[in-house]
Amino acid sequence: MSSEQQHVPCVLAFDLGASSGRAFIGEIRSESPDNSTGATADAPGVRKLHITEIHRFPNVPVQIGWHLHWDTPMLLREIKTGIRKAFQAGYRPESCAIDTWGVDFGLLDRNGELLGIPYHYRDRQTEGLVEEVSALVGAERLFRESGLQFMPFNTLYQLYAMKKAGSPKLDLAETLLLTPDLLSYFLTGRRVCEFTMATTTGLFDPGRGAWNSALMEQLGIPSTIFPDPVPPGTVIGELTAEVCAELDVPPIKTIAVASHDTESAAAAVPADSPAFAYLVSGTWSLLGTQMAKPLLTPAVLERQFSNEGGVDGTYHLLKNIMGLWILQECKRKWEQAGEAYTFAELVKLAEQAEPLRSLIDPDDLRFMNPADMPEEIRAYCRETGQPVPDSPGAFARCILESLALRYRQVLEQAEELTGSRFAGLHMVGGGIQNELLCRLTAEAIGRPVWAGPVEASAIGNLLVQLRTSGWLKDLQEGLELVKASFPFQVYEPKQETEPENEKRTALWAAAYERFERLGRSIPC
């Protein structure tokens, strides 16, 4: 690496998802109009954000007895490997930061040691607890004081499950740290709770901007274990001397970014209007819009949307949708049976399958963590009087079209709740590499889909770090950087001859009517 490259602003982002983790170096470089580097004083060039993946690793849960856990020591080891690789490659990052999924946590004892292995949000210990806690506390109060849709994996239900089971870990715990904060603690020795993660727990009151100690007391959850939340952009501390010695690296800063990966992704959406709708597509799909403050109306409760914190004190009105998890689980089950398909092959088979033949409700809880996902889909179709998918292509088509119709439903509900009309939908995240899903979504919503960037969570992570380090004056400058650096793909609803277009529109309209009639196990 040249001396000129060594002075390029450089930070390191760890983006951990439910199935894999990645480490990215982010650099701001100036490019001349012909896209070459090395702009001169006479031609200062255009600033662009360059990202380089330097490490990738699988994130595979571990079943121990009756419980499903995260392999937290492995995640820490891989993060350390990513830091080491960055320096070995010649980079000198000024800081690093971690974003992950929400809700999950680790407990530390009075010596700062981890109590047990953190549970996975798909662990079955919380089954039935949404209804039990709602009956105990009252659904209206629960929503008013959390702003969240009632999802069985929320931190609230995990802690209540531990309390009901008489877990001694709650008695021994001195501090609860959510996943990215826990991993940052192992690097720095500093205990913090980042704001966007706090809002995923169901125990943070967005109206008061504080932990809901009264609710914790009623449910028997210790309120003293929660650190006060800090905003995105807070410097947690530097790598400890022990970590630096182990990795042979200098003591770089660790920053609490928008540590919930959804909010990091939302911070990187290249929208031209302050009123926009976005979809973060991956294992989960999260569709929402940014707002100045939480929306805690009865209509939001009825529609079961969530209010989750974002960067700079914003809130995001959004809904969790099951996402590509359903297709991933089908693929896994077929592999176990000796039928291995790549995702590209499944998409090609789906394109050849009959359109809009069978539909499912992706958010039916039967699809949360079944033993046999294809069989659950077959059973659902039988129970709802639909043709049963009979090939991998038919299954994939059913899943992707059902997701697209669910996106339309949630998008229209978001418009009803906010009083806005969105011109189209910004799609970001790894799921946009599935071009068929993007095309089907444009068809379903009857509006354009703007797809990109793919690595939105990592980019949002990098932007907050760069602002904290003074390389960006604000996030708006960061978004201009994103627009200059990462092209996006536009998917328009198909425009064919007028009769064909009317036929296609009618086909989707009829499918949407069928979709809305599907029975639901949870409120829509």
Which residues are catalytic, by number? 261
| Residue 119 DSSP label | B
Q: Do 198 and 229 meet the contact criterion of CB atoms below 8 Å apart?
A: yes
Q: Classify the phi-psi angles of 233: left when phi > 0, otherwise alpha if psi is within -120 to 50, otherwise beta.
A: left
* Neighbouring C-alpha atoms within 13 Å toward the C-beta of 82: 29
Q: In angstroms, rounded to a whole number, what is the distance separating the alpha carbons of residues 306 and 303? A: 9
Burial grade of 68 (CB within 10 A; 0-12, 13-18, 19 or more):
middle
Using DSSP's 3-state secondary structure scheme, residue 50 falls into strand
Q: In angstroms, rounded to a whole number, what is the distance separating the alpha carbons of residues 316 and 426? A: 15
Nearest CA among 49, 53, 58 for reference residue 24: 53
Residues 6+ apart with CB under 8 A from 263: 196, 232, 308, 309, 310, 311, 316, 460
Burial grade of 473 (CB within 10 A; 0-12, 13-18, 19 or more):
exposed
Backbone angles phi and psi of 115, in degrees to 5:
-95, 100
Backbone angles phi and psi of 369, in degrees to 5:
-160, 60
| Residue 179 DSSP label | H
Using DSSP's 3-state secondary structure scheme, residue 63 falls into strand
Q: Which residues of 204-240 are buried (b: 16+ CB within 10 A; e: fewer)?
A: bbbeeeebbeebbeebebbeebbbebbebbebbbbbb
CA distances from 400 to 67, 109, 140, 313, 331 (A): 30, 45, 34, 34, 14
Rg (CA), the chain: 23
